[in-house]
Amino acid sequence: MSSHQVLAGFHAVIARLRHAPGSIRELYVEASRRDKRMQTFIEQAQAANIRVHPVAAERLDGLARGTRHQGVVALAEAHPLAADVDEVLDWLEDKPEPALFLILDGVTDPHNLGACLRTADAAGVHAVIAPRDKAVGLNTTVQRVASGAAETVPYIMVTNLARTMRQLKERDVWLVGTDDQAASTIHQVDGRRAMAWVMGAEGEGMRRLTRETCDELVHIPMLGSVESLNVSVASAVCLYETLRQRRS
């Protein structure tokens, strides 16, 4: 992953201002925008001692590289929240809640990853894990779609996903994969234990080794005519089933 990031849009930049203002190197705003939202944002940046550079919209378009920027673009250093799963699990040892992970096997669509991160934040996921070679990183589009969740949920990209899954199992994290052909449903999973939901890529599903490494396979009940759900929607359904169980 690159050591520098381009953050575009109010949500992504404000989240970085809130959580790691020192990582922002340059902050650009559209010079022609003088509305209240922009003025409030500029005041927030100045309060964090960050210089704001008013520039033409065309300059922002070039910096954002095709991502909708709303008149705000920041150049920042990468801000990883956790180095690996052991760091997350060590942090959780003294916490009352059991671990909850989301493993994404080969999600390459930045809009899907951004939506997954946003849902993960809302459902209290402790980290999202993905393979380094077949997944999208935290690019500008992901940061924008995540609406700030990329600053709160660790996104850990690993060299060998199956090995990381076995590492989680060794630390008593139960791995539950979603498979349309599984006999059990998501409602039969015990979500009150330390666990990870394992979701497959768009269209292809989980790879064979990923599926074989899971402790349990379940399906999402589908009552209509469509055969499957988008990975971000499926993640939301599964995560909130876990949240429902833990809250009850």
Q: Is 200 known to sit in a ligand binding site?
A: yes
Number of other CB atoms surrounding residue 205 within 10 Å: 20
Q: Which DSSP string do the residues of 124-182 spell out, in sequence order? A: T-SEEEEESSSS--S-HHHHHHHTTGGGTS-EEEES-HHHHHHHHHHTTPEEEEE-TT-
* H/E element, 82: none
Residues in the chain: 248
Q: Which DSSP string do the residues of 6-42 spell out, in sequence order? A: EEESHHHHHHHHHH-GGGEEEEEEETT--SHHHHHHH
Which candidate, 104, 136, 135, places its Cα nearest to that of 120?
Answer: 104
Which candidate, 232, 238, 204, places its Cα nearest to that of 220?
Answer: 238
Q: Is 186 known to sit in a ligand binding site?
A: no
Q: Is 229 known to sit in a ligand binding site?
A: yes
Q: How far apart are the C-alpha atoms of 159 and 132, rounded to whole Å? A: 5
**In the structure encoding, which two tokens stand for residue 23, read together?**
């990582």
Known binding-site residues for S-adenosyl-L-methionine equal 200, 220, 229
Known binding-site residues equal 200, 220, 229
